[in-house]
Structure 1
Protein backbone atom coordinates (compact mmCIF):
# COMPACT_ATOMS: atom_id res chain seq x y z
CA UNK A 1 0.00 0.00 0.00
CA UNK A 2 1.46 3.36 -1.02
CA UNK A 3 1.71 6.39 1.25
CA UNK A 4 -1.13 8.14 -0.64
CA UNK A 5 -3.35 5.05 -0.28
CA UNK A 6 -2.65 5.00 3.46
CA UNK A 7 -3.52 8.69 3.78
CA UNK A 8 -6.65 8.29 1.67
CA UNK A 9 -7.84 5.38 3.83
CA UNK A 10 -7.16 7.35 7.02
CA UNK A 11 -9.08 10.38 5.70
CA UNK A 12 -12.09 8.26 4.76
CA UNK A 13 -12.04 6.47 8.12
CA UNK A 14 -11.83 9.69 10.16
CA UNK A 15 -14.20 11.93 8.17
CA UNK A 16 -16.52 9.61 6.26
CA UNK A 17 -19.30 11.58 4.58
CA UNK A 18 -17.92 14.95 5.72
CA UNK A 19 -15.67 14.72 2.65
CA UNK A 20 -17.68 16.09 -0.27
CA UNK A 21 -14.98 15.31 -2.81
CA UNK A 22 -11.65 13.48 -2.65
CA UNK A 23 -9.29 13.74 -5.61
CA UNK A 24 -5.77 12.40 -6.15
CA UNK A 25 -3.77 14.28 -8.78
CA UNK A 26 -0.07 14.91 -9.32
CA UNK A 27 0.87 12.84 -6.29
CA UNK A 28 -1.29 14.87 -3.88
CA UNK A 29 -4.70 14.46 -2.32
CA UNK A 30 -7.30 17.21 -2.26
CA UNK A 31 -10.37 16.96 -0.06
CA UNK A 32 -13.32 19.31 -0.21
CA UNK A 33 -15.59 19.89 2.78
CA UNK A 34 -18.69 21.97 3.48
CA UNK A 35 -18.25 25.40 5.10
CA UNK A 36 -20.08 24.15 8.22
CA UNK A 37 -17.52 21.32 8.66
CA UNK A 38 -14.40 23.32 7.76
CA UNK A 39 -13.21 24.23 11.26
CA UNK A 40 -13.96 20.82 12.80
CA UNK A 41 -12.23 18.97 9.93
CA UNK A 42 -9.19 21.23 10.16
CA UNK A 43 -8.96 20.64 13.92
CA UNK A 44 -9.11 16.86 13.45
CA UNK A 45 -6.53 17.03 10.66
CA UNK A 46 -4.13 18.59 13.15
CA UNK A 47 -5.02 16.52 16.24
CA UNK A 48 -6.00 13.03 15.05
CA UNK A 49 -3.25 10.48 15.69
CA UNK A 50 -3.61 8.93 12.22
CA UNK A 51 -3.26 12.28 10.42
CA UNK A 52 -1.10 14.76 12.40
CA UNK A 53 -0.97 17.73 10.03
CA UNK A 54 1.13 19.96 12.26
CA UNK A 55 1.81 22.72 9.74
CA UNK A 56 -0.27 24.96 7.53
CA UNK A 57 2.15 25.91 4.75
CA UNK A 58 -0.15 27.91 2.46
CA UNK A 59 -3.67 29.26 2.21
CA UNK A 60 -5.12 31.14 -0.75
CA UNK A 61 -8.38 32.46 -2.08
CA UNK A 62 -9.81 31.35 -5.42
CA UNK A 63 -12.33 33.01 -7.75
CA UNK A 64 -14.09 30.49 -10.00
CA UNK A 65 -16.08 33.02 -12.04
CA UNK A 66 -15.32 32.37 -15.69
CA UNK A 67 -13.81 28.97 -14.84
CA UNK A 68 -13.91 26.56 -17.80
CA UNK A 69 -14.88 29.48 -20.07
CA UNK A 70 -18.13 30.03 -18.19
CA UNK A 71 -19.06 26.34 -18.14
CA UNK A 72 -18.77 26.23 -14.34
CA UNK A 73 -21.95 26.80 -12.32
CA UNK A 74 -20.94 26.25 -8.68
CA UNK A 75 -20.03 28.64 -5.89
CA UNK A 76 -17.75 31.48 -6.95
CA UNK A 77 -15.23 31.76 -4.09
CA UNK A 78 -13.17 29.06 -2.42
CA UNK A 79 -10.29 28.77 0.02
CA UNK A 80 -7.53 26.25 -0.60
CA UNK A 81 -5.30 25.28 2.30
CA UNK A 82 -2.07 23.29 1.98
CA UNK A 83 -1.12 21.22 5.00
CA UNK A 84 2.04 19.30 5.91
CA UNK A 85 2.54 16.46 8.34
CA UNK A 86 6.18 16.36 9.39
CA UNK A 87 5.74 13.27 11.56
CA UNK A 88 3.86 11.28 8.87
CA UNK A 89 5.72 12.86 5.89
CA UNK A 90 2.67 13.66 3.79
CA UNK A 91 0.81 16.65 2.35
CA UNK A 92 -2.85 17.46 1.86
CA UNK A 93 -4.88 20.17 0.17
CA UNK A 94 -8.08 21.12 2.01
CA UNK A 95 -10.62 23.07 -0.05
CA UNK A 96 -13.84 24.77 1.01
CA UNK A 97 -16.26 26.82 -1.09
CA UNK A 98 -17.88 29.88 0.46
CA UNK A 99 -21.63 29.45 0.94
CA UNK A 100 -22.47 32.92 -0.42
CA UNK A 101 -21.03 34.70 -3.46
CA UNK A 102 -22.21 38.17 -2.39
CA UNK A 103 -20.62 37.97 1.05
CA UNK A 104 -18.00 35.18 0.93
CA UNK A 105 -16.96 33.94 4.36
CA UNK A 106 -15.51 30.88 6.07
CA UNK A 107 -14.13 30.17 9.52
CA UNK A 108 -10.63 31.38 10.32
CA UNK A 109 -7.94 28.75 10.81
CA UNK A 110 -5.70 31.04 12.90
CA UNK A 111 -6.91 29.44 16.17
CA UNK A 112 -5.66 26.08 14.85
CA UNK A 113 -2.52 27.11 12.95
CA UNK A 114 -1.25 30.61 13.70
CA UNK A 115 0.67 30.56 10.40
CA UNK A 116 -2.70 31.15 8.67
CA UNK A 117 -2.74 34.74 9.95
CA UNK A 118 -1.12 36.60 7.05
CA UNK A 119 -2.45 34.17 4.43
CA UNK A 120 -6.02 34.86 5.56
CA UNK A 121 -5.36 38.60 5.57
CA UNK A 122 -4.04 38.33 2.01
CA UNK A 123 -7.11 36.35 0.84
CA UNK A 124 -9.33 38.96 2.52
CA UNK A 125 -7.46 41.84 0.91
CA UNK A 126 -7.23 40.41 -2.61
CA UNK A 127 -10.50 38.42 -2.86
CA UNK A 128 -12.74 39.92 -0.15
CA UNK A 129 -13.20 36.61 1.67
CA UNK A 130 -14.13 37.16 5.33
CA UNK A 131 -12.48 34.80 7.84
CA UNK A 132 -14.81 34.67 10.84
CA UNK A 133 -12.90 34.49 14.11
CA UNK A 134 -9.73 36.13 12.75
CA UNK A 135 -8.36 38.55 15.37
CA UNK A 136 -6.82 41.10 12.98
CA UNK A 137 -8.53 40.93 9.59
CA UNK A 138 -7.32 44.03 7.72
CA UNK A 139 -5.64 44.79 4.43
CA UNK A 140 -2.06 43.58 4.07
CA UNK A 141 -0.98 44.31 0.47
CA UNK A 142 -3.15 47.19 -0.72
CA UNK A 143 -3.50 50.65 0.75
CA UNK A 144 -6.05 51.26 3.53
CA UNK A 145 -8.07 53.53 1.24
CA UNK A 146 -8.09 50.99 -1.60
CA UNK A 147 -11.55 50.21 -2.96
CA UNK A 148 -12.31 46.68 -4.13
CA UNK A 149 -10.40 43.41 -4.23
CA UNK A 150 -7.87 43.25 -7.09
CA UNK A 151 -7.67 39.47 -7.60
CA UNK A 152 -11.40 39.11 -8.26
CA UNK A 153 -11.93 38.38 -11.92
CA UNK A 154 -14.43 41.21 -12.30
CA UNK A 155 -11.94 43.81 -11.00
CA UNK A 156 -10.76 46.12 -13.83
CA UNK A 157 -7.15 45.44 -14.80
CA UNK A 158 -6.36 49.15 -14.78
CA UNK A 159 -7.97 49.60 -11.37
CA UNK A 160 -10.48 52.23 -10.29
CA UNK A 161 -8.20 54.99 -9.02
CA UNK A 162 -4.57 55.97 -9.29
CA UNK A 163 -2.48 57.75 -6.72
CA UNK A 164 0.23 60.32 -7.12
CA UNK A 165 2.17 62.74 -4.97
CA UNK A 166 0.82 66.28 -5.17
CA UNK A 167 3.63 68.80 -4.54
CA UNK A 168 1.22 71.63 -3.77
CA UNK A 169 -0.71 69.65 -1.16
CA UNK A 170 2.45 67.87 -0.03
CA UNK A 171 0.66 64.53 0.21
CA UNK A 172 -0.47 61.55 -1.81
CA UNK A 173 -3.79 62.10 -3.57
CA UNK A 174 -6.20 59.71 -5.27
CA UNK A 175 -7.81 60.46 -8.60
CA UNK A 176 -9.75 58.56 -11.27
CA UNK A 177 -7.63 56.50 -13.63
CA UNK A 178 -6.32 58.63 -16.51
CA UNK A 179 -4.86 55.82 -18.60
CA UNK A 180 -6.81 55.22 -21.79
CA UNK A 181 -7.83 51.65 -22.41
CA UNK A 182 -6.29 50.15 -25.54
CA UNK A 183 -5.98 46.75 -27.08
CA UNK A 184 -2.46 45.54 -27.61
CA UNK A 185 -2.04 42.96 -30.35
CA UNK A 186 1.35 41.25 -30.36
CA UNK A 187 3.22 41.48 -33.64
CA UNK A 188 4.92 38.30 -34.76
CA UNK A 189 7.96 38.63 -36.97
CA UNK A 190 9.04 35.54 -38.80
CA UNK A 191 12.32 35.36 -40.61
CA UNK A 192 12.92 32.66 -43.15
CA UNK A 193 16.37 31.79 -41.83
CA UNK A 194 15.84 32.47 -38.12
CA UNK A 195 18.23 30.36 -36.08
CA UNK A 196 19.97 28.95 -39.16
CA UNK A 197 17.08 26.66 -39.99
Structure 2
Protein backbone atom coordinates (compact mmCIF):
# COMPACT_ATOMS: atom_id res chain seq x y z
CA UNK A 1 0.00 0.00 0.00
CA UNK A 2 1.43 3.36 -1.04
CA UNK A 3 2.06 6.26 1.31
CA UNK A 4 -0.30 8.41 -0.79
CA UNK A 5 -3.24 6.06 -0.18
CA UNK A 6 -2.44 5.90 3.53
CA UNK A 7 -2.35 9.72 3.62
CA UNK A 8 -5.68 9.96 1.76
CA UNK A 9 -7.32 7.49 4.14
CA UNK A 10 -5.98 9.44 7.14
CA UNK A 11 -7.28 12.73 5.69
CA UNK A 12 -10.70 11.18 5.08
CA UNK A 13 -10.89 9.86 8.63
CA UNK A 14 -9.93 13.26 10.04
CA UNK A 15 -12.34 15.29 7.86
CA UNK A 16 -15.37 12.97 7.75
CA UNK A 17 -15.16 11.54 11.26
CA UNK A 18 -18.35 9.67 12.17
CA UNK A 19 -19.96 10.54 8.84
CA UNK A 20 -17.93 7.66 7.39
CA UNK A 21 -19.12 4.14 8.18
CA UNK A 22 -15.90 2.67 6.83
CA UNK A 23 -12.75 3.60 4.92
CA UNK A 24 -11.10 0.77 3.02
CA UNK A 25 -7.85 0.70 1.08
CA UNK A 26 -7.66 -2.23 -1.32
CA UNK A 27 -6.31 -2.95 -4.80
CA UNK A 28 -4.75 0.50 -5.06
CA UNK A 29 -8.02 2.35 -4.38
CA UNK A 30 -9.69 4.00 -1.42
CA UNK A 31 -13.39 3.43 -0.80
CA UNK A 32 -15.41 5.30 1.80
CA UNK A 33 -18.96 4.35 2.79
CA UNK A 34 -20.86 7.33 4.16
CA UNK A 35 -24.14 7.51 6.05
CA UNK A 36 -27.17 8.42 3.95
CA UNK A 37 -28.25 11.16 6.35
CA UNK A 38 -24.87 12.92 6.01
CA UNK A 39 -24.26 12.15 2.31
CA UNK A 40 -24.64 15.73 1.05
CA UNK A 41 -22.68 17.18 3.96
CA UNK A 42 -19.89 14.63 3.40
CA UNK A 43 -19.78 15.47 -0.31
CA UNK A 44 -19.36 19.17 0.51
CA UNK A 45 -16.47 18.36 2.82
CA UNK A 46 -14.86 16.14 0.19
CA UNK A 47 -14.96 19.01 -2.29
CA UNK A 48 -14.19 21.98 -0.04
CA UNK A 49 -11.66 20.70 2.50
CA UNK A 50 -8.15 21.64 1.25
CA UNK A 51 -6.66 18.35 2.46
CA UNK A 52 -9.02 16.45 0.11
CA UNK A 53 -10.08 18.90 -2.68
CA UNK A 54 -12.15 16.53 -4.84
CA UNK A 55 -13.10 19.07 -7.52
CA UNK A 56 -14.51 16.61 -10.05
CA UNK A 57 -17.22 13.99 -10.01
CA UNK A 58 -16.21 11.64 -12.81
CA UNK A 59 -18.82 8.88 -12.42
CA UNK A 60 -21.95 7.98 -10.47
CA UNK A 61 -23.98 4.79 -10.77
CA UNK A 62 -26.60 2.73 -8.99
CA UNK A 63 -26.06 -0.77 -7.61
CA UNK A 64 -28.65 -3.45 -6.76
CA UNK A 65 -27.41 -5.84 -4.05
CA UNK A 66 -30.39 -8.21 -4.32
CA UNK A 67 -29.04 -11.79 -4.00
CA UNK A 68 -25.48 -10.46 -3.71
CA UNK A 69 -23.02 -13.19 -2.74
CA UNK A 70 -25.69 -15.82 -3.41
CA UNK A 71 -28.03 -14.36 -0.81
CA UNK A 72 -25.39 -13.96 1.92
CA UNK A 73 -25.78 -10.15 1.76
CA UNK A 74 -27.97 -8.80 4.58
CA UNK A 75 -27.47 -5.06 4.09
CA UNK A 76 -29.54 -2.51 2.23
CA UNK A 77 -30.49 -3.39 -1.34
CA UNK A 78 -29.67 -0.19 -3.26
CA UNK A 79 -26.50 1.87 -3.23
CA UNK A 80 -25.12 4.83 -5.14
CA UNK A 81 -21.41 4.70 -5.98
CA UNK A 82 -19.58 7.88 -6.92
CA UNK A 83 -16.03 8.28 -8.21
CA UNK A 84 -14.28 11.55 -7.43
CA UNK A 85 -11.03 13.06 -8.66
CA UNK A 86 -8.74 15.59 -7.02
CA UNK A 87 -6.56 17.33 -9.59
CA UNK A 88 -4.72 19.25 -6.91
CA UNK A 89 -3.60 16.12 -5.01
CA UNK A 90 -3.75 13.72 -7.99
CA UNK A 91 -5.84 11.08 -6.23
CA UNK A 92 -9.16 9.31 -6.73
CA UNK A 93 -11.86 8.21 -4.34
CA UNK A 94 -14.84 5.88 -4.49
CA UNK A 95 -17.79 6.97 -2.30
CA UNK A 96 -20.63 4.54 -1.57
CA UNK A 97 -23.92 5.37 0.12
CA UNK A 98 -26.77 2.94 0.78
CA UNK A 99 -30.39 4.06 0.45
CA UNK A 100 -32.01 3.58 3.89
CA UNK A 101 -35.19 2.02 2.46
CA UNK A 102 -35.41 -0.72 -0.16
CA UNK A 103 -39.02 -0.01 -1.14
CA UNK A 104 -38.41 3.72 -1.65
CA UNK A 105 -34.67 4.17 -2.34
CA UNK A 106 -33.88 7.83 -1.70
CA UNK A 107 -30.56 9.65 -1.27
CA UNK A 108 -29.56 13.30 -1.62
CA UNK A 109 -28.70 14.68 -5.04
CA UNK A 110 -25.12 15.82 -5.61
CA UNK A 111 -26.08 18.21 -8.43
CA UNK A 112 -25.77 21.29 -6.16
CA UNK A 113 -22.12 20.33 -5.55
CA UNK A 114 -21.05 18.81 -8.87
CA UNK A 115 -23.23 19.64 -11.87
CA UNK A 116 -21.82 16.60 -13.70
CA UNK A 117 -23.97 14.39 -11.42
CA UNK A 118 -27.11 15.48 -13.31
CA UNK A 119 -27.33 12.85 -16.06
CA UNK A 120 -25.66 10.17 -13.96
CA UNK A 121 -28.41 10.53 -11.33
CA UNK A 122 -31.09 10.49 -14.03
CA UNK A 123 -29.60 7.27 -15.36
CA UNK A 124 -29.57 5.67 -11.89
CA UNK A 125 -33.19 6.74 -11.42
CA UNK A 126 -34.22 5.37 -14.80
CA UNK A 127 -32.43 2.03 -14.56
CA UNK A 128 -32.63 1.29 -10.80
CA UNK A 129 -35.47 3.48 -9.52
CA UNK A 130 -33.20 5.31 -7.06
CA UNK A 131 -34.61 8.74 -6.22
CA UNK A 132 -32.37 11.77 -5.66
CA UNK A 133 -33.78 14.36 -3.29
CA UNK A 134 -33.07 17.88 -4.54
CA UNK A 135 -32.54 16.94 -8.19
CA UNK A 136 -34.49 19.53 -10.19
CA UNK A 137 -35.08 17.45 -13.35
CA UNK A 138 -35.33 13.79 -12.31
CA UNK A 139 -36.92 12.01 -15.26
CA UNK A 140 -36.15 9.02 -17.43
CA UNK A 141 -33.06 9.28 -19.58
CA UNK A 142 -32.62 6.01 -21.51
CA UNK A 143 -35.98 4.23 -21.50
CA UNK A 144 -39.23 5.33 -23.12
CA UNK A 145 -41.52 7.70 -21.23
CA UNK A 146 -44.17 4.99 -20.91
CA UNK A 147 -41.70 2.35 -19.75
CA UNK A 148 -42.85 0.29 -16.78
CA UNK A 149 -40.29 -0.60 -14.11
CA UNK A 150 -36.53 -0.23 -13.88
CA UNK A 151 -34.62 -2.64 -16.14
CA UNK A 152 -31.34 -2.94 -14.18
CA UNK A 153 -33.05 -4.17 -11.02
CA UNK A 154 -32.20 -7.81 -10.51
CA UNK A 155 -35.86 -8.77 -10.11
CA UNK A 156 -36.88 -7.15 -13.42
CA UNK A 157 -38.18 -9.83 -15.85
CA UNK A 158 -35.75 -10.63 -18.66
CA UNK A 159 -38.55 -10.43 -21.23
CA UNK A 160 -39.75 -7.09 -19.87
CA UNK A 161 -43.33 -6.12 -19.07
CA UNK A 162 -44.62 -4.92 -22.42
CA UNK A 163 -43.62 -4.98 -26.08
CA UNK A 164 -43.47 -1.90 -28.23
CA UNK A 165 -43.98 -2.02 -31.98
CA UNK A 166 -44.97 0.24 -34.83
CA UNK A 167 -48.53 -0.38 -36.07
CA UNK A 168 -48.76 0.52 -39.79
CA UNK A 169 -52.57 0.74 -39.66
CA UNK A 170 -52.62 3.16 -36.72
CA UNK A 171 -49.43 4.82 -37.94
CA UNK A 172 -47.98 5.05 -34.45
CA UNK A 173 -46.10 3.05 -31.83
CA UNK A 174 -48.31 0.76 -29.74
CA UNK A 175 -47.70 -1.17 -26.54
CA UNK A 176 -48.92 -4.73 -26.09
CA UNK A 177 -48.39 -7.63 -23.66
CA UNK A 178 -45.18 -9.59 -24.08
CA UNK A 179 -45.59 -12.40 -26.63
CA UNK A 180 -42.29 -14.14 -25.91
CA UNK A 181 -42.82 -17.45 -24.16
CA UNK A 182 -40.36 -18.26 -21.41
CA UNK A 183 -38.38 -21.42 -22.11
CA UNK A 184 -35.31 -23.19 -20.92
CA UNK A 185 -32.66 -23.73 -23.54
CA UNK A 186 -30.72 -26.97 -23.25
CA UNK A 187 -27.53 -27.08 -25.30
CA UNK A 188 -27.33 -29.86 -27.86
CA UNK A 189 -23.97 -31.49 -28.39
CA UNK A 190 -23.27 -32.77 -31.88
CA UNK A 191 -20.17 -34.84 -32.46
CA UNK A 192 -19.08 -36.85 -35.40
CA UNK A 193 -17.34 -40.15 -34.76
CA UNK A 194 -14.05 -38.90 -36.16
CA UNK A 195 -14.34 -35.40 -34.59
CA UNK A 196 -10.88 -34.08 -33.89
CA UNK A 197 -9.16 -37.23 -35.09
CA UNK A 198 -7.50 -38.17 -38.34
CA UNK A 199 -9.61 -39.08 -41.36
TM band (smaller chain): over 0.9
Aligned to 2:101: 100
CA distance in 2, matches of 1:85, 1:189: 56
2:179 aligns with 178
Confirm whether residue 38 of structure 1 aligns to residue 39 of structure 2: yes
Distance in structure 2 (CA, Å) of the matches to 1:188 and 1:103: 47
TM-score, normalised with respect to structure 2: 0.93
TM-score for the superposition, normalised by structure 1: 0.94
Q: CA deviation at 1:187?
A: 4.4
Query: Cα gap change, 1:111/1:166 in structure 2, threshold over 3 Å: closer, same or farther?
Result: same
Which residue in 1 is equivalent to 2:164? 163
Count of matched residue positions in the alignment of Structure 1 and Structure 2: 195
CA deviation map 1:154-189 (0-9, x unaligned): 100110001000011000000000011111234466
Check if 1:151 corresponds to 2:189: no
Instruction: Provide the C-alpha distance between the structure 2 equivalents of 1:189 and 1:95, rounded to a whole number of angstroms.
Output: 48
SS at match of 1:155: coil
Provide the aligned C-alpha RMSD in A. Answer: 1.7
Kindly state the Cα deviation for residue 21 of structure 1 after the two structures are TM-superposed. 1.2
In structure 2, the residue corresponding to 1:60 is in which secondary structure? Answer: strand
| Secondary structure of the structure 2 residue equivalent to 1:38 | helix
User: Superposition pairs for residues 1-197 of structure 1, below 5 Å?
Assistant: 2-187=3-188, 193=196
CA deviation profile, 1:116-161 (whole Å, cap 9, x unmatched): 0000000000000000000100000000000100000110011000
Which structure 2 residue ranges, 5 or more long, are not aligned? none
Separation (CA, whole Å) in 1 of partners of 2:170 and 2:137: 32
> What residue ranges of structure 1 are gaps of 5+ in the alignment?
none
Task: Report the Cα offset of residue 24 of structure 1.
Answer: 1.4
C-alpha distance 37-188 of structure 1, shift in aligned 2 (>3 A): farther
